[in-house]
Amino acid sequence: MSSGQPSQHHHMMPFLAVGAGIATFSVMDALMKGASLAVGAYNAMFWRSLVGVAVMLPYWHLRGGIWPRGEALWLHAQRGLTSAFMATTFFYGLKYLPLAEGMAISFIAPLIALYLAAVLLGESIGKRAMLASLLGLAGVVVIAAARLGQGGYDTDTVWGIGAILVSAVLYAWNLILQRRQALMAGPIEVATFQAVFTSLFMALVAPWLATLPPLEIMGHITASALLATVSLMLISWGYGREETQVLLPLEYSAFIWAALLGWLIFDEALTMPTVAGAVLIVIGCWIAARKQPSHTEQTAL
């Protein structure tokens, strides 16, 4: 009996860390939507990345960080490039869509990543993981169908939907990189070098696109950078200790936060389809969180 308790503890900690990281990221998304409306998606993301570098690089150095090499450095660069395009297209889309609706459309990503994990990482897709993902996706479909059924979309909204779909495909690849990266580097290194490489890639077009945001907006961007850094470390820690397929359904919990924050900050109404979809999402997350004995040895690492 005594040996069972630690195993359960080890299994739940990655789940809780990733859940907290997604909640933190959702608050960041809300702040970044406001910043994107004010100064554009590129400037919001570019300045957020620079603040992230200013915060994390000294911290990483003080903690005795050693410059990564070889495959680890290549993975950091890949994820930085992916993040630059993924986040910018997502925040561009949020300029023209409600926060909750944009999040709902983006949820094709975990389903794509579930099968990418099987192909690229060699993970077998368990029945529980498939059920949890399908329940989460069903919740998103309920909500998205109700919103899309209202009609009345203009050209900007169509572009917004297209941008978020592009972001979702990139996010699926990002989730695979996230798992591989977490197995090779610690959370502080991951957060530091994602900010570094994202900034470097975005700086390539800075002479033509960058403008300095107003002080108030810069405050929101700075807060977003801090929240993104905390979230990256939490999620990286979790993905370094549990399989991708087990943690993927947690991505759907971001919709609950998006619906709540959209209501509180942007006055976006909560509807019955939103509540029904959220229930399905929570059930999917609960199924994913249940202890799976076959993972006990791995999660103890």
pLDDT band at residue 239 using 50, 70 and 90 as cut-offs:
confident
Tell me what the pLDDT averaged over the chain comes to: 82
pLDDT tier at 80, thresholds 50, 70, 90: very high
Alpha-carbon distance 17 to 125, whole Å? 22
For the chain, percent of residues with pLDDT exceeding 90: 38
- Distance between CA 83 and CA 243 in Å, rounded? 21
Q: What angle do CA 279, 237, 248 make, to 5 degrees?
A: 35
Round to whole Å and give the CA distance between 58 and 9.
33
Using the predicted structure, report yes or no on whether residue 129 has a pLDDT greater than 70. yes
pTM of the model: 0.78
- Give the integer Cα–Cα distance in Å for 209 and 112: 32
Residue 158 has a pLDDT of 77
Q: What is the mean pLDDT of residues 166-171?
A: 88
Q: What is the mean pLDDT of residues 258-264?
A: 90
Q: What would the pLDDT profile of 56-75 be if each residue is shown by its tens digit?
A: 999 999 988 889 988 889 99
Predicted local distance difference test score (pLDDT) of residue 147: 63
Band of pLDDT at residue 300, cut at 50, 70 and 90: very low
Is the pLDDT at 199 greater than 90? The verdict is yes
Q: What is the pLDDT of residue 298?
A: 30
Q: Is the pLDDT of residue 295 over 50?
A: no
In angstroms, rounded to a whole number, what is the distance separating the alpha carbons of residues 74 and 174? Answer: 14
How far, in Å, are 29, 45, 49, 53, 237 from residue 225 at the CA level? 11, 9, 7, 9, 18
- C-beta of residue 248 within 8 angstroms of C-beta of residue 133: yes
Higher pLDDT, 293 or 244: 244
Picking from 24-38, 189-203, 258-272, which range would have the lowest pLDDT averaged per residue? 258-272
